[in-house]
Amino acid sequence: MITSTQNPRIKHLLLLEQKSAQRRKDGLFVVEGRREVEHCLEAGYTLRTVFVCEELCRESLPPHGNVWNGAEVVPVSPNVYERIAYRGGTEGIVAVVEERRLTLQDLRLSASPLIVVLESVEKPGNLGAVLRSADAAGADAVIVCDPLTDLYNPNLIRSAIGAVFTVPCVACSTHECIEFFKHEGISILTAQLQDSLLYYDTPMTGPTAIVMGTEATGLTEPWRQAADAHIRIPMLGRLDSLNVSVSAAILLFEAVRQRQKQSGEK
């Protein structure tokens, strides 16, 4: 059992939690919680090490023995777990996992895919919330263009509550993404105030990509030029923007509504 927070393995785990450069260098990231680890395994990720605090695990304890799904199980004391638990929960499980960087070509899209694109998203919490909405709406993928946040940031994983593993998430450039959509025949709908139609007046039943920019600057010009339609959410108050995760949820479930209506009519 590891009982000291100065243990080299604990120091390395903390570096993985705190430093994106360390995660990229080692190809590893950290997941906390039994449910999140199971989602991670279901998505095909490989566990490297599982740190377990038996006093906190109780029913969440992995199977007996020192190996779980091929990963070494390392017991830690409560004071060590308190140091490594970035979520502040009491499940007692923190895993070190091997990264898996998806590309656009890795995506397995449905016949009429629904995709969310975020350009230059900065806040991990926003991306995590969008992933949760994408999971709930049955979206095929979330694509982050020119990302300003690490896809394996612990705050993203925490806010996504496992959706980072249930929804394929790809990071790429805006140019690569636009070329991919054009090649695949996916309609590009950009969320913007200028020269736009109300979102519920825009068809979303075919292959669709909903593209959103930052709340501060919106989308860059390449997206505006590549768009098949510009859409907006009506703003009836004094402010002119919503949080990007709220906007994504509204637009995703409009696509769901239209698709369900079309399916019901058939």
Domain boundary among 98, 127, 149: 98
Q: Is the pLDDT assigned to residue 179 strictly greater than 90?
A: yes
The CA-atom distances, in angstroms, between 178 and each of 172, 185, 251 are 10, 11, 20
For the chain, helix (H) and strand (E) counts, in that order, are: 11, 12
Q: What is the pLDDT of residue 9?
A: 97
Domain end call among 98, 119, 152: 98
Residue 62 in contact with residue 93, Cβ under 8 Å? yes
Domain co-membership, 118 together with 184? yes
For the residues 38-50, what does the mean pLDDT come to? 91
* Residue that terminates a domain, selected from 48, 71, 98: 98
Res 193: pLDDT: 83
Residue 242: which residues within 8 A CB-CB, separation 6 or more? 233, 235, 250
Residue 159 is assigned to a structural domain of this protein? yes
User: What CATH number is associated with residue 23?
Assistant: 3.30.1330.30
Q: How big, in percent rounded to 5, are the helix, strand and coil portions of the chain?
A: 40, 25, 35
pLDDT for 232: 95
pLDDT tens-digit profile of 130-158? 999 999 999 999 999 988 878 899 888 88
**Residue 134 belongs to what domain range?**
104-265
Contact 60, 34 (CB under 8 A): yes
| Confidence check: pLDDT of 59 > 70 | no
Answer yes or no: do 16 and 69 share one domain.
yes
Shared domain check, 224 and 135 = yes
Residue 238 in this model has a pLDDT that exceeds 90: no
CA distances to 7, 106, 115, 180 from 10, rounded to whole Å, are 5, 34, 38, 41
Asked if residue 162 and residue 229 are part of one domain, the reply reads: yes
Report the CATH number that the domain containing residue 210 is assigned in CATH. 3.40.1280.10
Of residues 136, 212, 202, the one with CA closest to residue 167? 136
Total domain count, the chain: 2
Percentage of the chain surpassing pLDDT 90?
Answer: 68
| Mean pLDDT score of the chain | 90
Phi-psi map region of 146: left, alpha, beta (phi>0 left; psi -120 to 50 alpha): left
Say if 259 falls within a structural domain. Answer: yes
Q: Does residue 3 lie within any of the structural domains?
A: no
- In single-letter form, the type of residue at position 68 comes to W
What is the rounded distance in angstroms from the CA atom of residue 243 to the CA atom of residue 233?
12
Instruction: State the Cα–Cα distance between residues 36 and 158, nearest whole angstrom.
Output: 9
Residue 4: pLDDT over 70: yes
Where residue 239 falls among pLDDT bands split at 50, 70, 90? confident
205 phi, psi to nearest 5 deg: -85, -20
| Spatial distance between the Cα atoms of 222 and 36, rounded to a whole number of angstroms | 36
Q: What is the pLDDT of residues 77-116, one digit of tens each?
A: 999 999 999 876 667 899 999 998 899 999 999 999 999 9
**pLDDT at position 162:** 81
Ramachandran assignment for 65, one of left (phi > 0), alpha (psi -120 to 50 degrees), beta (any other):
left
Nearest to 248 by CA among 146, 116, 119, 145: 116
pTM: predicted TM-score of the whole model, two decimal places: 0.90
